[in-house]
Amino acid sequence: MTVHNSEIADSFEKLADLLEIEGANQFRVRAYRNAASTIRGYPRSMADLLEDGEDLSELPGIGNDLAQKIGTIVETGELPLLKEVEERTPEALSELMMIEGLGARKVKALHDALNVNSLADLERAAASGEIRRVSGFGEKSEKKILARLQKYSGEEKRTRLIDAEEIGRPLIEHLEKADGIKDIVITGSYRRRKETVGDLDILVTAKQGSSVMDHFTSYNEVDEIASRGKTRSTVFLQSGMQVDLRVVPQVSFGAAQIYFTGSKSHNIALRKLGIRKGFKVNEYGVFKGDKRVCGKTEESVYAKLGLAWIPPELREDHGELEAAKKDKLPRLITLNDIRGNLHAHTSASDGHNSLKEMAEAARDLGYDYLAITDHSQRLTVANGLDKKRLLAQVREIDRLNQKLDGIVLLKSSEVDILEDGSLDLPDSVLRELDFTVCAIHHRFGLSRKKQTERILRAMDNINFNILAHPSGRLINKRPPYETDMEKILEAARERGCIVELNAQPQRLDLTDEGCRMARELGVKISIATDAHSISDMDHMRFGVDQARRGWLEKSDVVNCQPLDKLAKLFTR
DNA sequence: GCCGTTTTCGGCCCGACTGTTTTCAGTCG
């Protein structure tokens, strides 16, 4: 039984919550939270690191004590200190902290005064009017608790980036109409192009005394105004999305962009660096004593700290500060670098458009080539093509290529990887194709070992070229199937296979961390839309965003290559 | 509990808003 990083991180976070409720040293509490964040974001599993004999105390925020505790969790699946703390402090109290407005102190106060130990206790106490009598609470906070409880579902809700764009776009249009507004930018994880966002953080500059806040809170989608000040307001939209608006003066715009773009750990690292250099860094600028020395642009702030400007996608405190210091940041791939698309479906299987329509759409995007990768025979629900139909399609593509101008269709197939690791079409047929895209579409529930072996065995086939959507996850819907991704990537490099970064906004698979690992291992990536219609081809930009988060450069991505270089990449 | 370009001890990012208080603690990002 493998212990996942997320489980270790969860244990540390829960321990931090309970210790905080008990009133433990706040820096000790923070140490557990920092460690949780390091572990959660780490590209390799703690279990694997330990197996390889690595020293975990080398990791940021993890010292000897926590390294030992991680070892215990990996070995036994349990954290004794957490058990011990849970004996004295009910573990459900940590869940109460999920209610907005309730932090450790208030949870403790309610526990001590009213013996509130669960969400149900909390609701009872609020409904019966007992909470307002506890010192530090009043009628308003009691009402808020009751209202929040009704909305609380127990799940942390994060919105897919594409959905966040749909919510954000009309709101920005609304804000642009405000009097006196100058700059508007959506910051936060949205600007870092994370696959999901928790809330929208909007930053604006505006003329002094303008009515931007009034304009913001009067947006017709606003369901609730949670707070409202001169420089900051928070609302909830009818979609449930939380939106924060901050207004700063123009001289602070760069510093504020950095601050609100985050990530939080990136900001903390920047501020610490500032302190070492004798500066104070905040959202208004970089200060020497009381004097602002810069802040108008992001570049000026980074430069003052001795750093090159860092693209938002890299701001996770995953080594970007060190790279920026040495001027060794990657030259991140851009959408303009993309020359073609290596995964697309037509109406022959489960797509919605014809070969010709798809080809013309790809040409309109400025691509040189588009690969047609309809499903293979096993995937009957998607009308997968058997040998006969695929060979007919191959001939049709040949004919069409004669007529097409400015775009070349590549002959391919999204071939099912069967449970035993064999491919769903005979080698004699696969050899007729320019290359193959291979994927798992069934039997997701195999053990980690079996699933990994299944993929490795499939890659042993000389006709295997690209591993499509390697984890099979659907964001917010289906977890990845269990695999040893590092092993798969190493095997891909050894065999000359390519791994896909599927650009569908609900997939984005490889993950950012997976991309980074692939790059470090020297595995080439195909960023592909898996388009099932003409309009899906626009999703390439989400794939590029994710690739940038994974530190990928143009040279790491096969579909940045011109057509005449592709064939070589598909020769094993 | 972690960490080190004045440190192995003594610090630990910083500011806005709310509600309850009577000058500020708690919460949040």
pLDDT number for residue A153: 64
Pinpoint the alpha helices (H) of A243-291: 253-261, 264-276
- CATH H superfamily, domain A335-569: Metal-dependent hydrolases (3.20.20.140)
pLDDT number for residue A339: 97
Q: Nearest nucleotide (C1') to the CA of residue A63?
A: B2
Which has the minimum average pLDDT: A31-40, A513-522, A548-557?
A: A31-40
pLDDT number for residue A240: 85
* Residue A230 scores a pLDDT above 90: no
> For a pLDDT cut of 90, what percent of chain A falls above it?
62
What are the pLDDT digits (tens) for A304-332? 999 999 999 999 888 899 899 989 999 99
* pLDDT average, residue stretch A412-424: 95
pLDDT number for residue A42: 80
What are the pLDDT digits (tens) for A344-368? 999 999 998 999 999 999 999 999 9
**Amino acid at site A285:** G
CA–C1' gap, A93 and B24, in angstroms: 26
pLDDT number for residue A1: 62
* pLDDT average, residue stretch A416-430: 94
* pLDDT average, residue stretch A112-125: 89
pTM: 0.86
Crossing angle, helix A5-22 and helix A104-114, to 10 degrees? Answer: 60
pLDDT number for residue A94: 87
pLDDT number for residue A26: 86
What are the pLDDT digits (tens) for A170-200? 999 999 999 889 999 999 999 999 999 999 9
* pLDDT average, residue stretch A493-503: 97
Pick out residues 101-120 of chain A having their CB under 7 A from any atom of nucleic acid strand B: 101-107
What are the pLDDT digits (tens) for A120-153? 899 899 888 889 888 888 888 888 888 888 777 6
What confidence tier does A445 reach under pLDDT thresholds 50, 70, 90? confident
What are the backbone angles phi and psi of residue A341, rounded to the nearest 5°?
-135, 125
* Residue A53 scores a pLDDT above 80: yes
Cα atoms found within 13 Å of the Cα of residue A535, Cβ hemisphere only: 1
Q: Nearest nucleotide (C1') to the CA of residue A81?
A: B1
Question: For the structural domain made of A5-154, what CATH number should be given?
Answer: 1.10.150.110
CA–C1' gap, A34 and B12, in angstroms: 12
* Residue A155 scores a pLDDT above 70: no
Query: In this structure, is the CB of residue A199 within 7 Å of any atom belonging to strand B?
Result: yes
Pairing of the two strands A181-186 and A199-206? antiparallel
CB A252 within 8 A of CB A285: yes
Q: Nearest nucleotide (C1') to the CA of residue A277?
A: B5
What's the CA gap between A542 and A47, in Å, rounded?
A: 31
Query: In this structure, is the CB of residue A268 within 7 Å of any atom belonging to strand B?
Result: yes
Beta strands in A503-571 (DSSP E): 525-528
What are the pLDDT digits (tens) for A275-297? 888 888 999 999 988 889 999 99
Q: Nearest nucleotide (C1') to the CA of residue A244?
A: B29
Quickly count helices (H) and strands (E) in chain A.
24, 18
What's the CA gap between A313 and A465, in Å, rounded?
A: 29
pLDDT number for residue A103: 87
Between the two ends of chain A, the Cα-to-Cα distance in Å is 35
Q: A159-247, what's its fold?
A: Beta Polymerase; domain 2 (3.30.460)
What's the CA gap between A292 and A204, in Å, rounded?
A: 20
Write down the domain spans for chain A. Answer: 5-154, 159-247, 261-325, 335-569
CA–C1' gap, A363 and B23, in angstroms: 67
pLDDT number for residue A379: 87
3-state secondary structure A323-388: HHHCCCCCCECCHHHCCEECCECCCCCCCCCCHHHHHHHHHHCCCCEEEECCEECCCHHHCCECHH
- Token readout for A97 is 């902290």
What confidence tier does A67 reach under pLDDT thresholds 50, 70, 90? very high
* Residue A154 scores a pLDDT above 80: no
- Which protein residue has its CA closest to C1' of B5? A276
Q: Where is A28: in which H helix or E strand?
A: helix A26-40
Q: A261-325, what's its fold?
A: Beta Polymerase; domain 3 (3.30.210)
pLDDT number for residue A383: 87
